[in-house]
Chains A and B, each alone.
Chain A
């Protein structure tokens, strides 16, 4: 018995970097086979999600203790595909597993039963596998493959049916069409950029590329094609991260997706763009920084401004949150574009805090929509007595996004502005501060519109308003919120507050990550150290 346990332990520790991806990929067909047994599916899904969270925590702990972990697939050394778990990957895998678990619990009650069994679970695990793959891969082309896995499965998930339909399926199709068209163009451009780099440098391994491009930069001028590829990568990842001229799909897709998927899209999927910029532009193509940093900064500031100003005028609850996501990802990219260690550390803190707060806000918004049967802010009001839990949760989220102490958002905004002051970036700081004030305005305007004021009857006499789509069995009054909806909101709420009250570990980890990214020597030597067998 003990030998079996130690055997399992050795297996897990030896294959730790690969396991999250493999389990995600394996669960997709398993869930398809179990589609006639919803109970078994539910148990399997929750068990595997907890297991993934545990694995991510172990991976994070081991990377924190022992440094970067490298896993060869196929034992070809750097000529094959390698998976690399460094601090940045481990942190984001942990974040994804954490949010993914609670989003899954939330979906049990929120997604329509047939849709849940037939397509939701398989696609959900496929998407998780894709996201883990993006975070863990050390190969540029493999990054593209995982990007496509994530993109295609999220396309399917956006069209999943909610138990209580407040969104027309026609709207979903239209939003998905925009997402598909832009995503396809983005992946074509990504292929062109990857092949350009491969044809110039002759490698696809990220560590190898980083080392070789560094040498090219030291010995002479960088070929212009590498600069062109770097700028193409900004377009590709900016498209995923909703950088402003490419942001217009997001306010359509995030609101029309079912709420748990909106939480996943806003929490994790747009962060994938920021992660890839950090990995590809800052790790591999850092010698071209004079070209891409000013461009990134300009568009990041534009993103902050356009997102915040658009969010002010929205009347749709989820659209406000979606535009807020656009604005907030601008702050993350601004932190990256400042380029100093402190600024990148602040951007990573911002990314984590925004992921937690925004996914919690989306889940809360879904709960509110579940009760009121409308997404229109003008038809809500006075819900603070009827939905006290949601009002508290939304307040916590709004305070975190707006940057109020003691929430996590305060710490990250403070660190970002401090790094801008110490780097003497006065104009970006001014714009960012101005838009932070706008953020406070639109978040609290939304909170007041939902929870204060007069009850407009969306809960009491919903039939009076013909515009509100009310199903026959509409809840006429306050009813009990199910545990599947309450638990994720409370858990994410707690995470937001804990990261605000006790930010020291995250601050320390972010600084380690920023140092690792800007000085990739450890990454390069660890990955290239292993000889091909």
Chain B
């Protein structure tokens, strides 16, 4: 059930973002871009959290009971990683998506900062924040 609500939230935020970047005001477009980036960050997080229940830390006790294969062995047809002996305890939450989303947040922060600077300079240069007025390159 949580997944449905998360998916609805993501689609709603994404839709608002699309609506905002179709506006004419350059500031609203910037807000739209950051809303879309938030929607996508949410997508990244949700692609990892619903599959498992365990905290992704390998402790000694867990390590004893489990058969882990981390190295590929093409001769025997093994394609790592293979994690067995865990099904009774549930599986791990994927830690990688959280690392990915942090990187994505930082990058979207930098991009938004540049876009806002650009918006400020455009409003100085053109005297307007209406993107439809940016038509000096037409033709």
Contact = CB atoms under 8 A, between A and B. Distances in A.
A252 interface: yes
Contacts of B96: 198, 204
Contacts of A152: 110-111, 114
A525 B74 contact: yes
18 contacts: A79-B81, A145-B107, A148-B107, A173-B118, A173-B122, A173-B125, A177-B118, A180-B115, A184-B111, A185-B33, A188-B36, A191-B44, A195-B100, A211-B79, A256-B137, A528-B74, A531-B71, A532-B70
A421 interface: no
A167 to B, nearest CB: 10
A79 B70 contact: yes
Given A77-B71, A532-B70, A180 B137 contact: no
B125 A169 contact: yes
Contacts of B114: 152, 155-156, 180
B29 to A, nearest CB: 7
B47 A171 contact: no
A141 B103 contact: yes
B72 interface: yes
A132 B37 CA distance: 26
Contacts of B110: 148, 152
A148 B111 contact: yes
Contacts of B11: none
Interface string B82-107: 00000000000000110010011001
Nearest to A315: B139
Contact of A77 (B21, B29, B70, B121): B70
Q: Is the interface of A mostly helix, strand, loop or mixed?
A: helix
B40 interface: yes
A174 B100 contact: no
Interface in A151-181: 152, 155-156, 168-171, 173-177, 180-181
B50 to A, nearest CB: 10
A523 B100 CA distance: 25
Contact of B121 (A168, A173, A192, A525): A173
A532 B71 contact: yes
Q: Is the interface of B mostly helix, strand, loop or mixed?
A: helix
Given A77-B70, A184-B111, A211-B79, A168 B136 contact: yes
Interface string B13-31: 0000000010000100100
B56 to A, nearest CB: 12
Given A191-B40, A195-B47, A212-B79, A170 B115 contact: no
A170 B126 contact: yes
Nearest to A76: B70
A324 interface: no
Interface string A475-519: 000000000000000000000000000000000000000000000
Contact of A141 (B72, B100, B111): B100
Contacts of A78: 72, 80
B83 to A, nearest CB: 11
A392 to B, nearest CB: 32
Nearest to B112: A184
Contact of A192 (B40, B122, B134): B40
B115 to A, nearest CB: 6
Nearest to A203: B81
B33 to A, nearest CB: 5
B113 to A, nearest CB: 10
A198 B95 CA distance: 13
A42 B81 CA distance: 49
B70 A198 contact: no
A532 B44 CA distance: 26
A148 to B, nearest CB: 5
Given A169-B125, A175-B137, A188-B37, A180 B118 contact: yes
A188 B38 CA distance: 10
The 10 closest A-B pairs by CB, nearest first: A199-B47, A528-B72, A531-B71, A170-B125, A174-B134, A148-B107, A252-B137, A195-B44, A173-B122, A191-B40
A152 B26 CA distance: 19
Contacts of A173: 118, 121-122, 125-126
Nearest to A528: B72
A170 B79 CA distance: 55
B136 A191 contact: no
A192 B21 CA distance: 18
Contacts of A168: 136
Contacts of B72: 78, 528-529
A198 B46 CA distance: 12
Contacts of B81: 79
A215 interface: yes
A211 B21 CA distance: 39
